Chain A
Amino acid sequence: MSSIPKELKYASTHEWVRNEGDGVFTVGISEHAQDLLGDMVFVELPEVGDNVAAGDDVAVAESVKAASDIYAPIGGEIIAINEDLEDAPETVNSDPYGDGWLFKMKADDPSEVESLLDAEGYQAVIDED
């Protein structure tokens, strides 16, 4: 049983979103997603300053097993990336909701987050897989 923190929002493509206030959101992948992918070996992140739309493929999580696209859960500007993942991609495995975060976004429209899944909704997505 993988953990799905209640305070986060989720995309059906397994990204999580944390509201940091002031229209800033942190994005990562769920514990379930890192478990499916297995040991992470590279994480390719977007550039700070990139403007992306919800659903754009903006990053790649590459594990020993497979390469998986990561999609922007909402539209906005990339304002920070987790550079520590360059040397320690395995942090995505060990702490997917904490130090294993991928990037931060300034949302074009913060209300877009409301349309994402809550923990219960995301659990239902996992159960269907």
Chain B
Amino acid sequence: MANRTPLFDAHVKAGAKMVDFHGWDMPLNYGSQIEEHNAVRKDSGVFDVSHMTIVDVAGAQAKDFLRKMLANDVAKLSVPGKAQYNSMLNEKGGVIDDLIVYYFSDESYRLVVNSATRERDVAWIEKVASEFQVTITEQTELAMVALQGPKAAEKLRLVLGDEAFAPVEGMRPFMSVQVGDLFIATTGYTGEAGYEIVLPASEVEKLWDDLLNVGVQPCGLGARDTLRLEAGMNLYGQDMDESITPLEANMGWSVAFEPEDRNFIGREALEKQKAEGHDKLVGLVMREKGVLRHGQKVVVDGGEGVITSGTFSPTLGFSIAMARVPNSVGETAEVEMRKKFVTVSVVKPSFVRNGKGLV
């Protein structure tokens, strides 16, 4: 039987269409994924992300360990609660997973990694950790929800009350704070303001119900995918995997090559690739009828590429995609769709931010 999050019954009660997602029974939608998408862009929505893997890292060498294992440099983090987008790479520079690291102190960090790659991630983390004085703890008793949208703060205040909400109020993006049993972070996967909230599994259903009672829309994996794609955020296993480096996946900004003497895993391979040149991940926009889809062939100046993620953008009203193409790509590309080629524009892979179109 598939794994169930502590919110399984709540999803069924809310009328969710449940699907298998990498061994987890998860909600695809609660009726209309477009309505859920629009709720997050215009008001607020909540996602069950309890299937994600939370790993706490503690010990005298926690910082050294993460500076070795991760492509971004955790030494840039000095304010307790600060979050950082990061990735762990293999020796060839391929992405084992992307993740968020939360900084508490030089001896204490929290990693949130993907569920699809959980076993491989945990095995890798433990393997690298074996050379350091650190303790790795997978938090299986914690649940996690993402409350996202322009009205997320207002809704959370209603649910928590003014006193509990005070430490969260005005928190800048990519920060976190512990409020009683709730670990509340201003992170997310939608391109909107909002929170990711980690809490004991036994308490999550109450929070979920409270949020729905103040008018927050429950949202499934369908809306999660269109929202993240509009925001230009990668999906592991689709836009990158172990055979793709961060440089080929628009994640170069999250790789810290400075300081030069930090010898993180995969560094050598990335430096070589940087010198030799590589493909890149771009955005595609098609204003005609039709929808760009994963796997479609893309012809650009100097070669061919492939669409890694494509969808109809509910916010923009036309189709958008991410595609991996040769670096020689110009301002347009030809996509093979249903046996004919359609010309599309090439843009930066970021389409919507804070409810507004960028293309």
Binding site for B on A (CB under 8 A): 38-39, 41-42, 44, 60, 62, 64-67, 90, 93
Contacts and interface: CB of A to CB of B under 8 A. Distances in A.
A22 B127 CA distance: 75
Interface residues of B, number: 15
Contacts of A39: 32-34, 222
A62 B312 CA distance: 9
B338 A67 contact: yes
B293 A64 contact: no
Nearest to A62: B291
A42 B32 contact: no
A42 B291 contact: yes
Contact of B34 (A44, A60, A64): A64
Given A38-B222, A39-B32, A93-B32, A67 B293 contact: yes
Nearest to A86: B289
A64 B222 contact: yes
Interface in B299-353: 311-312, 314, 338
B33 A64 contact: yes
Given A38-B222, A41-B312, A67 B32 contact: no
B338 to A, nearest CB: 7
Contacts of A90: 32, 34
Given A38-B29, A42-B290, 15 more contacts: A39-B32, A39-B34, A42-B312, A60-B338, A62-B290, A64-B33, A64-B34, A64-B311, A64-B314, A65-B222, A66-B293, A67-B290, A67-B338, A90-B32, A90-B34
Nearest to B29: A38
Contacts of A67: 290-291, 293, 338
Contacts of A41: 34, 291, 312
A60 B340 CA distance: 15
Contacts of A93: 32
A123 to B, nearest CB: 20
Nearest to B291: A62
Contacts of A65: 222
Contacts of B289: 42, 44
Contacts of A38: 28-29, 33, 222
B236 to A, nearest CB: 20
B312 A64 contact: yes
A60 B338 CA distance: 11
B226 interface: yes
